[in-house]
Amino acid sequence: MDLKMKINAVVADAFNVYPHFANTLPAQRAALMHAIAMALQANETELIHAAAKETHLPPARLKTELNRTILQWNQYADACAAGKWLHISKDLSGPAPILKMNRALGPVVVFGASNFPFAYSTPGGDTATALAAGCPVIVKAHPAHPETSLLCAKLLQTVIEKEGFSPPIFQHVPDEGFETGALLVQHPLTAAVAFTGSFSGGKALYDLAQARPAPIPVFAEMGSVNPVVILPEAQKDAEALSGTLVQSLTASAGQFCTNPGVWFLLQTTHTNHLLAALKKALNKSQSEPMLHEEIAKSFSTKRKEVLASGMVDLLASAEAPGNDLFSIPTISTTSAKKFIANRMLREEIFGPYAVAVLCNNMQELAEALEAMDGQLTGTIQARSADEILVPEILEILERKCGRLVFNGVPTGVTVTEAMHHGGPFPATTDSRFTAVGADAICRFVRPVCYQGWPGHLLPQTLQSFIGT
Amino acid sequence: MDLKMKINAVVADAFNVYPHFANTLPAQRAALMHAIAMALQANETELIHAAAKETHLPPARLKTELNRTILQWNQYADACAAGKWLHISKDLSGPAPILKMNRALGPVVVFGASNFPFAYSTPGGDTATALAAGCPVIVKAHPAHPETSLLCAKLLQTVIEKEGFSPPIFQHVPDEGFETGALLVQHPLTAAVAFTGSFSGGKALYDLAQARPAPIPVFAEMGSVNPVVILPEAQKDAEALSGTLVQSLTASAGQFCTNPGVWFLLQTTHTNHLLAALKKALNKSQSEPMLHEEIAKSFSTKRKEVLASGMVDLLASAEAPGNDLFSIPTISTTSAKKFIANRMLREEIFGPYAVAVLCNNMQELAEALEAMDGQLTGTIQARSADEILVPEILEILERKCGRLVFNGVPTGVTVTEAMHHGGPFPATTDSRFTAVGADAICRFVRPVCYQGWPGHLLPQTLQSFIGT
């Protein structure tokens, strides 16, 4: 069977089970989701073993990620059952009752991330929230961890059968190159796409989806350099701050989408002391294996290019490793003028690389911030004496970013309803929706309004929530 | 000054006032909106006079529309102040408080409708909800009612100045052809687009917006034929039902986006009686002036084409008027097979034209419904004995439509939070959002998350709602 026929069959199967699955009660889907969480827990050893082999991520890091994944399934299951995401409205004041409720969009295609084989891949947040919404899911396996993906998929499929759901509510498609994803996104019965990865990958899928005869939503979380603004008084905390920043920069070999890649320093007499402390902190950091050789090579190439560009000065770099797979934690410096003039300096280098942008005054800082594209996060480090400067910076960051961190670091995305993991293009293709937290369910629904309907003919879900 | 320079200046002005306007308190914007409602009321006579001249709509119909427009401003103002649309979430359980709130997207370009010079044009729901969200608005005047548009714009501008807001929060751009709208949509500082009109117009703007270096949301409400399914038992109410349906079909010369253009009749021994009653009801209907000659010509051409296609039989037609501006209310019949095989029969003929699709059995009915594109509305006429058939039809209509009417007609869109005026493509370009009701404000916002922020540095709006 050729690829196109295979994809056609997969999407048709998903579409065929969609009406029934969309009409299961949220509490039923929540029970399935809790059962999936338990199965992930029960298979922890095997899962971590498979992922460690394929991703080079240390088992301790993978265990943290798997726990996060389990937390997501449980938390999104509870949110699914609670039904806030249904956004039920009623108006019983007129001659005909008017009720509104969110309904599942249809089959959702999920593209997982290379850097999170569990939490943002096959058994990740996109799969969990799409199932919560009542959408059948088709996961396209990530080529960097196909075995882990397959193992997770089989585990989900086993639970789905055991819990009595139709098998095609979750399907797994092995990667056979770009065409696999393209066919899935272009299929007329596909209703939405979730993607976590590079700008080029996400934008290509977005463009395919928009060029369809009937365009569909694409939730692509792409690149971000996650600016950090360090105000004068905060710079005095040089030792503590540099430790925190370098830790955030180098964690997991810098392979987080919230990795802080651009640091804006409003120059004072303390700035050189902070730079010295950053250098010292970075010199203590270790070269680590990256996810796979392609990512390590890309990091190495882009790092070399920017260091050779004449647009930055090297501040500090870890020892070069004797291995192509390893990262080289690096910090460079540049001026606000150079940062504004050179797009290269504003682009993500996926891995532990950051550039410190030295700004002579608030105007330069504001202009440098304005030069930035949309971001997942923006961070301000400020102490009491700096507070007078915060509103002007906040105003810019609010326009550019999805999440604003005060006196923290952007890495570490709490799974909570109040989280927003998203941001203006090109950080994501749809800044209005989050990929983390229960509101992520809202990506896969649209409202339907029922006017004049007798209660007993309304969808079961609406009947069950109508009195609430 | 050439057009491009003019548009650049307009969008730049809107963008410059955006941060300040977005940070006014919802209660302040609500006060402005109530003042606009009062000004519309106070200028009723002049407004109706101008619109009647340009649109040929009868003054009584325009008065109803203006009242609806005023109701919208007041209702959306109250919703703005109440702040539910801010979707504030908080998580104070961790080491750093996490808060989330919706923020204004930026300058919004509004394209009004030809058929609603008030309620869905310059002073319409798009303008009101964008201002409620804190977005500056740029209205591109509709070429079919430029004087009415300008009059409304001046009225809004007077109120805006009097209430102490920056003038560029609302700007009005005269129509200089397609290029005017294209430049507005393509401008890098434009953040979103709202449109009501034809599929060709809406899709062209959508494609421009998606082809931008940074794509932006487009909320285009386009065509719809609003299927009505008439089940066997309901057909027995031939006289009452035909009166209601023909009234819905011919109201305002059929120029409503929710006009019922396709009627599915599950054939029984009563069907011929219903068809006779429909014929009788239609014969009583009047030819009326349409909005302008282009619309009347397009109606006349498409009507002739379909009647000459051999795919339908003429059931009833009003007397042909002696005037190019006038509509000719018309009902034709066809079979489910022809309906499925000919896309032409499923496409909107803007005006008082409907086709009755005769279905031999439930399977034909289901297949005919499946052949339909996305719709704003779907209606079922059913009596007790028909109820057993409803779930299967509902399942299809839920996938195809935004609003489902039971034993009513689709025309008449109640302005209420529980309303959904939208639907799957090509009814709209974004089925997830409504154009009517307070939830329409949500089109023009995106969430921003504040992590670890001291309360006094949070945006004023968040501070004012935080305790609620």
B429 contacts A215? CB cut-off 8 A = yes
Taking the C-alpha atoms of residue A397 and residue A391, their distance in angstroms, rounded to an integer, is 10
Select which of B80, B135, B257, B359 is catalytic: B257
Report pLDDT digits (tens) over B353-395. 999 999 999 999 999 999 999 999 999 999 999 999 999 999 9
Host H or E run for residue B143: none
Whether the pLDDT of residue A176 is over 70: the answer is yes
Q: What is the mean pLDDT of chain B?
A: 97
**Sorting pLDDT into bands at 50, 70 and 90, what band is B282?**
very high
B448 contacts A404? CB cut-off 8 A = yes
Taking the C-alpha atoms of residue B295 and residue B285, their distance in angstroms, rounded to an integer, is 19
pLDDT the model gives residue A466: 86
Q: Can you list the alpha helix ranges (DSSP code H) found in A165-253? A: 178-186, 199-211, 232-235, 238-250
Kindly state whether B465 is in contact with chain A, defined as any CB-CB distance less than 8 angstroms.
no
Active site residues of A: 221, 257
Taking the C-alpha atoms of residue B141 and residue B173, their distance in angstroms, rounded to an integer, is 6
Q: What is the mean pLDDT of chain A?
A: 97
Whether the pLDDT of residue B468 is over 60: the answer is no
Distance from CA of A433 to the nearest CA of B (A): 7
What are the structure tokens assigned to A372, written together?
A: 């930035």
Task: Identify which of B210, B217, B445 has the shortest CB distance to residue A210.
Answer: B210
Closest Cα to residue B258, out of B414, B68, B390? B414
Taking the C-alpha atoms of residue A208 and residue A262, their distance in angstroms, rounded to an integer, is 31
Strand partners, B335: B358
Whether the pLDDT of residue A468 is over 70: the answer is no
Report pLDDT digits (tens) over A96-110. 999 999 999 999 999
Nearest Cα residue in chain B from A395: B19
Distance from CA of B132 to the nearest CA of A (A): 17
Q: How far is CA A4 from the centre of its chain?
A: 29
Kindly state whether B134 is in contact with chain A, defined as any CB-CB distance less than 8 angstroms.
no
Whether the pLDDT of residue B456 is over 80: the answer is yes
Host H or E run for residue B244: helix B238-250
Closest Cα to residue A278, out of A358, A346, A361? A358
**Sorting pLDDT into bands at 50, 70 and 90, what band is B204?**
very high
Taking the C-alpha atoms of residue A432 and residue A466, their distance in angstroms, rounded to an integer, is 27
pLDDT the model gives residue B319: 85
b/e sequence A15-31, b meaning 16+ C-beta within 10 Å: bebbbebbbbbbebbbb
Taking the C-alpha atoms of residue B371 and residue B375, their distance in angstroms, rounded to an integer, is 12
B215 contacts A404? CB cut-off 8 A = no
Probe site for chain A from B92, B387, B419, B420 (most A CB atoms < 10 A): B420
**Sorting pLDDT into bands at 50, 70 and 90, what band is A307?**
very high
Handedness of CA B76, B80, B86, B90 (dihedral sign): negative
pLDDT the model gives residue A274: 98
Average pLDDT of A49-78? 97
B449 contacts A419? CB cut-off 8 A = yes
Report pLDDT digits (tens) over A339-384. 999 999 999 999 999 999 999 999 999 999 999 999 999 999 999 9
A96 contacts B403? CB cut-off 8 A = no
pLDDT the model gives residue B466: 86
pLDDT the model gives residue A320: 79
pLDDT the model gives residue B58: 94
Calculate what percentage of chain B has a pLDDT beyond 70: 99
Mean pLDDT lowest for which of A260-269, A312-321, B238-247, B374-383? A312-321
Entry pTM: 0.97
Distance from CA of A441 to the nearest CA of B (A): 13
What ipTM does the predicted assembly reach?
A: 0.97
Report pLDDT digits (tens) over A412-448. 999 999 999 999 999 999 999 999 999 999 999 999 9
Task: Identify which of B214, B417, B452 has the shortest CB distance to residue A425.
Answer: B214
The SS3 assignment for B195 reads: strand
pLDDT the model gives residue A321: 77
pLDDT the model gives residue B223: 85
Residue A277 near residue A283 (C-beta atoms within 8 A):
no
Whether the pLDDT of residue A319 is over 90: the answer is no
Residue type, B335: S
